[in-house]
Structures are given as C-alpha cells and as structure tokens.
Amino acid sequence: MSFVSSRLESMASRIRSGDRLDEKTFQDHEIMVTPFPSVWGNSIKSMRMTFEDAQDRLSVFERFERPFVFDHLPTPLSGKLKMMIEALDERGEVLPGSGEQFGFEIESPDVVAEEVSDQEVSDQEDTPQAAQALLTSSDEPAAGTGPALLAEPAPLATAALIAPESFTTLRIEAEDLSDDDGDGNASSIGGAGIEVVTGGDNPSNTANASGTAYVDFGGATGETLTFTFSVTEAGEYELALGYALSQNGDGSDRNRPLRLDVNGELQDRMFDLPSTTLTGDATDFSEFGERTIRVQLQAGENTVSFTSNGASGPNVDYLEVRAPDPDVFVIQGEDLDIGSTSDVADAGTNRVVTLDNIASFTNGRETFRVGAEGASYLDWASGNAEAYGDFTLEVATAGTYSVTVTYASSSARPIGLFLIDEGTPGQIGTFQFAAVTAPNYYPDDVDDVPADNQPGNGGPSAWEAGRPRRWRSPWPRAAIPCVWAARPTGRTSTRSRWRYWRPMRWSLSIR
C-alpha cells in the first residue's frame, strides 16, 4: 500500500504499519492499494478501506476499479489511526484471508517538522520514492519506524446502537462439546455421520483450524450442529461461521448450504457456504473462511443450529457472535415501503410473499422461493412500470456506500436505483440483474411449504437461483456505489422503469 502524490501522479512513499504520518499527507496524496498475487486472482472486484480514528469513529471507503486508488480521503485526527483493507468479490463479500490491518500515529505538521531536517524535506520533494506496495503478511514495520499499534489484531469499534457497546465478541469452537474452556458456551452435534475431527485424524485439513479441530458433516441430510451461548442484552447481532469447503475436482466452486435456525425459528433455509479452498482438489479443506448474517438475539441463553438438508455440509471450525458494523445497514425486501396499492391477489402490484399466504393467492401456480432469508420475500410487480420499493436511512459517516441487492430471477431484468430528494427522484444507477440458474438440490425440509407451491418435479427451479455454473450463491447479488453525506433526511427508492420487470426477492445491504 502506497501514498501517491496527487500533484506529481507518482509514487510518494510506501505505507507500513507503525508509521508516523503527517495530517497534511492525506490532503496532498492518494492511497493506492495493490493486492498481493494470490489464488483469488481476478476474483477481487473491489477494495474496501475502513478508518477508525482516535475518537473511535468509523469511516468506510470502497473502490471498484483497478488500480485501487483511494482519493479525497478525510484528514484524520491526531493520535492513533487504525486502518483495515479488505478485498471483495463480485457479490461484495470479503474474500477469506484477504483482510490486512494497519496502525499509524497521526501527528500535526508542526510536530513532524521538528523531527525532519531541511535537507530531508528537500530530498523528498525532489525525488519521490518509487515503491510498489503489496498486501502481504510479511509486510511488518521496519525496526525504529514507530510503535506497532496493531502488533496483534485489534477489532474495530463495536456497533453500540445495535448491540451493547461493551459487548465482547464470543467465539464458540465447533468441537467444544463439553464447555472445556469453562465460559458457559458450548456446542452439540446430532445425526448419524457428523463428528469431531482432530489434528491426528486429518493433519492437513485441521492445520489451519482454530484448536486444530473441526466438525465434519458426513451425510447429506439430517445432521445438526448447535451452538449455545448467552448475551446480556437483546438486540441485533452478527453471526460469523468459520468453515472450510473444497472445490470440485475440475476447479469449479461448489456450495453446501445449511439450514440456519435461531432459538428454534427458521432464519435461512439455504445459508450459503461456498468453496474456501481454491486448489481444484476435492479433498482439500485446508483453507477456512467465514460467512456472516445478522440476527435478533434474546437476553440470556440463545441457540443457533445448522442442519444439513440435502447437500451435506462443510467442515465447521467455530461460530462468532459479534456486535455488527454500525456503517452497514441491512433491510429485508419484505420490509420495503411498497405503497398502499399492494394487493397479494394482484401480480401487477408489489407484494410480500410468505409461507402463510402463498397458497391463498397463487392457486398452486407459483413455487415458493425457499432460499429467501427469513422465509419471506418481495415479489416484484409484473408489467407495472410504476412499481417501487422505498427505504429510508440515516448514516453517521459520510462517504461512498455500496447498495447491494440479493435476488432471484429467471431472466435478465434491470431495475433503477433512485435517490428521493425533496420528493423528486433522481436516478443513481441501474442494477443489471442477470438470469440465475437452479442449484443442484432442493432442500428436503419443506414440510412447512404448501405442497402445491413446491416444484412439480421435486427438484429445484430457476427461482431458487444460483450463479450459472459457479455455485457461488443461491441468491446472487448486484451492487451500485452511492455517495451519502452524514445523516441525510431523504429516502432512497428502487423503481422499475421497464415493463414486465419481476425479480422475486430483495435484501438491501447499504455498505
């Protein structure tokens, strides 16, 4: 990672964790991030940079084109500055193992000037240092360059507005069947083939697992891993499942979704868990990654269960319970404001579909989309160019955000994104939703889905979705970058401007 002079358009200096930086440096320079060559290769579609300043305030920036140059950055406060760089894939998900944390000491210009000679300043102005900066684990601060603020990974500020400010991340190891660490949190397993695998059983696949052990789903269905833990305050938390899954033998990605239940209630029937080890070896589960989801937890004891329902499961390492990022907003499609004209019996209006109502208005002619988070979704109007879905939000941090939509569709169906300013919509961009294909299985735990609203052939339909041939996600995503000032009072709208537009489910993530 390097500073680039905005005036000379040349590399000015290399940034290393522990550096002491002048406040003015951020005004005169841009930051260029160059990913280190890795197995991710062209999977890196964008870069996200997160600042946490000396007052624990977060700022998030994202760039979508190579080279990843972060310009117009705010001037940080004097004191400690934490920075995290993350590589994102085409769905806006963080690529496993791609995160890199840096720590700097920000000083006012007069303080730095006292420690730099006139000759050194002259040399720097005349001869910018050309240095290629790579994100690599060996990129440690050189001796004497300053304090190593992030010698050990330091978490960013917790989301006090959603979860308790003092909340400390909980990690429950999948193999902790008897609460060996005595923290009151534990796991349990059930089913014929599920088992704990330790280092001696499979050294290559356990080497990167925390505790050198994991839980292995052995059969295709009916096996459950349950985590039990307690929190002191009810609210919205983030769950992160650490797991490993190989690719297919031909090098293509695969997916082994699990059913996710929280406190006995269905949260996601197909919680996607795509490949993390990208070696083209179907037996290689050595690299672990994470998948996250936001859920509501109750004060006191909670249970989170993952159950195989037709596609087996990955090797599971742990579950973490975290305070969610305050600059990420998740809005379910069924919670959008779709206006007063909505009528579940009229396919020409936007309508919310649930397990309880689908049989009453479809006469068995429509398949329920079982991959929808929360077992409900927004069915977009057919042939109605005026259909819309509004959401309103207030952001504390100004900057560029990415509006990400998860969806299912059997054909290419674009939709516009608009910002409503004093009642007038202005188009920000267009989501170019592509057709998706069916996953390679239909879950077998669908007794709650009306029989007439299940696929007639007993298999998945295109509306259960999936990236063509890549098995990335049964509910793929599309994103548009947006710029927001702090605390806007307007609202944002997704509106159809094309006839016969009809995507099936929305979940907007404002990042």
Amino acid 376: pLDDT:
92
Cα(383)–Cα(331) distance, integer angstroms: 25
Cα(95)–Cα(100) distance, integer angstroms: 12
pLDDT digits (tens, 9 = 90+) for 333-378: 888 888 888 888 888 899 999 999 999 888 877 888 898 888 899 9
Cα(206)–Cα(199) distance, integer angstroms: 5
- List all residues 6 or more positions away from 409 whose beta carbon is below 8 Å from its beta carbon: 433, 434, 435, 436, 463, 465, 502, 503, 504
Regions of the chain with pLDDT less than 50: 1-14, 111-162, 164, 465-474, 487-490, 495-511
Amino acid 90: pLDDT:
79
Closest CA to 403 of 427, 384, 383: 427
Can you give the three-state secondary structure of 241-295, one letter per residue?
EEEECCCCCCCCCCECCEEEEECCEEEEEEECCECCCCCCCCCCCCCEEEEEEEE
Amino acid 59: pLDDT:
80
Residue 278 CB neighbours (<10 A): 19
Residue type, 33: V
Amino acid 63: pLDDT:
82
Answer for the pair 464, 47: CB distance below 8 angstroms, yes or no: no
Amino acid 345: pLDDT:
85
Amino acid 145: pLDDT:
31
For 90, half-sphere exposure in the C-beta direction (CA atoms, 13 angstrom radius) is 13
Amino acid 213: pLDDT:
97
Can you give the three-state secondary structure of 316-378, one letter per residue?
EEEEEEECCCCCCEEEEHHHCECCCCCCCCCCCCCEEEECCCHHHHHCCCCCCCCCCHHHEEE
Give the rounded distance of the alpha carbon of 189 from its chain centre.
Answer: 27
Cα(250)–Cα(342) distance, integer angstroms: 47
Cα angle 430-86-292, degrees, rounded to a multiple of 5:
80
Amino acid 29: pLDDT:
66
Model pTM?
A: 0.64
Residue length of the chain: 511
Amino acid 124: pLDDT:
37
